[in-house]
């Protein structure tokens, strides 16, 4: 299972990066107006060790790849060598970043102090530069209004018990949190049905079925989405439920953005 998020009351540290000659360095000279305002689409988080330069470049790189995928809806960027090369210069596209101490509620208890403590690194990238970088990589920013999804997800646990993931039921806290985290990471809005069967109108149904498989050493997740008169299906096998939810959200983003042909890259 993936690590839980940082405590909201933990101390944070914020930096802003000056507007260096990024366009010249990246060859992005044909600058047009930004296609989107600064939104969470252009933000990402990564868990790193310490707040110094040892882990910062890698954290920046991971955040940029996440943002490139989120803004384009194209999961294949995670496997694209050109995107990986661009990510090594991610600092040039960042507007500001901050650190959240994931152990801020605990006292320092060793000689290393905060050097080797885990932090959540949050990065906010310049929308115009991200959009231009995507075009350099042969992709297109996904700028149309994104549908709001209704996740209709069933889970069959280790004991063989099957239940529906609901917004207001006590069972399923972990998978429910994983679903919403995955939706945020994919740049999607998602809701769950209530226990009485009601849900907001006008949502696009996304069906998911997760079952625990001892033979596969993890969860098997089957996802299904109907979009523009076509039905799309994809699957991941032997993963944590965090990874299963990420696969669902990344796959939905790929379908909705017109990148359904790259569904094989929704999960590494």
What percent of the chain shows pLDDT beyond 70? 79
Element (H, E) at 64: helix 56-72
Using DSSP's 3-state secondary structure scheme, residue 124 falls into strand
Q: How far is CA 202 from CA 87, 105, 150, in A?
A: 37, 42, 9
| pLDDT for 247 beyond 60 | yes
Q: How many Å apart are CA 243 and CA 179, to the nearest integer?
A: 10
Domain's final residue, options 136, 164, 182: 136
Using DSSP's 3-state secondary structure scheme, residue 91 falls into helix
Q: Specify whether 122 is located in the same domain as 190.
A: no
Q: Specify whether 21 is located in the same domain as 116.
A: yes
Does residue 242 belong to any structural domain of this protein? Answer: yes
Residue given tokens 């360095």 in the structure block: 25
Q: Specify whether 57 is located in the same domain as 126.
A: yes
pLDDT band at 102 (very low <50, low <70, confident <90, very high): confident
| pLDDT for 26 beyond 80 | no
Using DSSP's 3-state secondary structure scheme, residue 167 falls into coil
Instruction: Give the range of the structural domain holding residue 52, as residue numbers without chain letter.
Output: 12-136
Domain count across the chain: 2
pLDDT in tens, 168-186: 998 999 999 999 999 999 9
Query: In this predicted structure, what is the pLDDT of residue 200?
Result: 84
| pLDDT for 25 beyond 60 | no
Q: Specify whether 36 is located in the same domain as 152.
A: no
Q: Specify whether 161 is located in the same domain as 77.
A: no
Q: Specify whether 96 is located in the same domain as 172.
A: no
| pLDDT for 208 beyond 50 | yes
What residues does 91 pair with on adjacent strands?
none
pLDDT band at 117 (very low <50, low <70, confident <90, very high): confident
Q: What is the pTM of this model?
A: 0.81
Does residue 62 belong to any structural domain of this protein? Answer: yes
Q: Specify whether 126 is located in the same domain as 168.
A: no
Name which of 76, 87, 124, 122 is nearest 102 in CA terms: 122
């Amino acid at each position: 299972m993936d690590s839980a998020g940082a405590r909201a009351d933990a101390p944070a540290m914020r930096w802003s990066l000056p507007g260096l000659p990024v366009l010249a360095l990246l060859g992005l000279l044909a600058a047009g107006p930004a296609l989107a305002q600064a939104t969470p689409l252009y933000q990402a988080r990564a868990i790193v060790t310490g707040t110094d330069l040892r882990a910062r470049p890698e954290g920046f790189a991971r955040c940029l790849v996440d943002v490139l995928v989120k803004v384009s809806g194209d999961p294949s960027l995670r496997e694209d060598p050109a995107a990986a090369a661009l990510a090594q210069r991610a600092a040039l596209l960042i507007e500001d970043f901050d650190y959240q101490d994931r152990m801020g509620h605990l006292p320092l208890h060793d000689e290393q102090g905060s050097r080797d403590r885990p932090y959540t690194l949050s990065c906010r990238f310049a929308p115009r530069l991200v959009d231009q970088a995507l075009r350099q990589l042969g992709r297109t920013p996904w700028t149309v209004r994104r549908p709001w999804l209704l996740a209709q997800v069933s889970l069959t646990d280790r004991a063989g018990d099957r239940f529906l993931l609901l917004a207001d039921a006590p069972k399923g806290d972990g998978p429910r949190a994983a679903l919403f985290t995955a939706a945020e990471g994919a740049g999607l809005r998602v809701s769950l049905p209530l226990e009485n069967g009601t849900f907001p109108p006008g949502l696009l149904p996304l069906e998911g079925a997760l079952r625990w498989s001892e033979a596969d050493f993890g969860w098997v997740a089957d996802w299904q989405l109907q979009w523009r008169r076509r039905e799309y299906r994809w699957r991941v096998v032997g993963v944590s439920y965090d990874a299963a939810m990420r696969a669902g959200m990344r796959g939905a983003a790929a379908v909705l953005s017109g990148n359904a042909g790259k569904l094989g890259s929704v999960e590494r």
